[in-house]
Amino acid sequence: MTMITQVGLSAQEGWRELRYLAAVIWTVLSKSARPRNWRSAVRAELSRQLISAGIESTWFVSRVALAVGISVVAQALVWLNKIGQSKLLGPLLVTVMIREAVPVITNLLVIGRNGTAITAELANMKVSEEVRVLDAQGLDPFIYLVMPRVLCLTVCVLYLGVVFIFISFASGYFCGLLLSPNISDPSTFVNTILNAVDPVDVISFLAKSVIPALFTGAICCAEGLRVSSAVTEVPGAARRALTRSVVFLFSISALVSFLTYL
């Protein structure tokens, strides 16, 4: 097999997989818009996933945001103030944090903490034939298992991204205040950042948060449910879900940046 043939087959396989994931996401969104699909069991599953991926992840994400705020925001604040370029603080933080870093970091944290857990959970359910039992009980496995998890990851990434921004900026400001007492007051700091935010930045933040999260949910659910009947397949499914989710995350982030700012 020649190199050109291998490249062609890989591209063809990648295109098929992209269409499959897009179809999963579209089905999730279309079925979630129908009230009759939100039975009590589905609502309970969504609540459980929101608590696991959102509420229980808040403290973990907050600690990472605290460290990023001290290491990035505080240094930018102190050094720009020292060289007399405080007016550049807002554009710099918006460019580095809101446009690029926060959506990527938040998605990575959710992939590592919740995405692989979802894959392993669904894979074990598939191996133990719990999925077949749900189907026999009249519960559509797609609506009960896939839809809540994809929606949950999307909502939680957006929520955790907002939490990340607030905590990183607050911790960075107060750390910078300790390092350099000449830093401006909090209202000036906040106004500097708000004045630097454009509608395009908000759209970019939403796109880089929501779209990768949708693909992460679809990938993790698909990999988990593709396991056949062997428990030994579960770690491999989790690794594939992690790898593919990260690849899609950076690819989508780069594409959004290209379409938005170039």
- Give the pLDDT mean for 34-54: 91
Domain count, the chain: 1
**48 within some domain:** no
Which DSSP string do the residues of 1-59 spell out, in sequence order?
--HHHHHHHHHHHHHHHHHHHHHHHHHHHHHHT-GGG--HHHHHHHHHHHIIIIITTHH
What's the pLDDT at 86? 62
Comparing 110 with 86, the larger pLDDT belongs to 110
Asked, for residue 197, whether it belongs to a domain, the answer is yes
Tell me if 46 is assigned to some domain. no
* Residue-wise pLDDT tens digits, 25-43: 999 999 999 989 898 989 9
Instruction: Supply the mean pLDDT for the chain.
Output: 87
Q: In terms of C-beta density within 10 A (0-12 exposed, 13-18 middle, 19 or more buried), how is residue 238 classed? A: buried
For residue 39, is it within any domain?
A: no
Confidence (pLDDT) at 259? 87
Find the domain containing 163 and state its range.
Answer: 59-261
Q: Is the pLDDT of residue 121 over 70?
A: yes
Residue 215 has pLDDT above 70, yes or no: yes
Average pLDDT (48-56) is 91
Look at residue 153 and tell me if it is in a domain. yes
Is pTM beyond 0.95 here?
Answer: no
Residue 114: pLDDT band with limits 50, 70, 90:
very high
Q: Is 34 exposed, middle or buried (0-12, 13-18, 19+ CB in 10 A)?
A: exposed
Indicate whether 249 belongs to any domain: yes
> Does 14 map to a domain?
no
Query: Residue 84's pLDDT is what?
Result: 65
The secondary structure of residue 182, as a DSSP letter, is T
Could you read off the pLDDT of 130-187 as tens digits, one per residue?
888 888 887 888 999 999 999 999 999 999 999 999 998 888 878 777 776 666 677 8
Phi, psi of 234 (to 5 degrees): -65, -50
Q: Is residue 148 included in any domain, yes or no?
A: yes
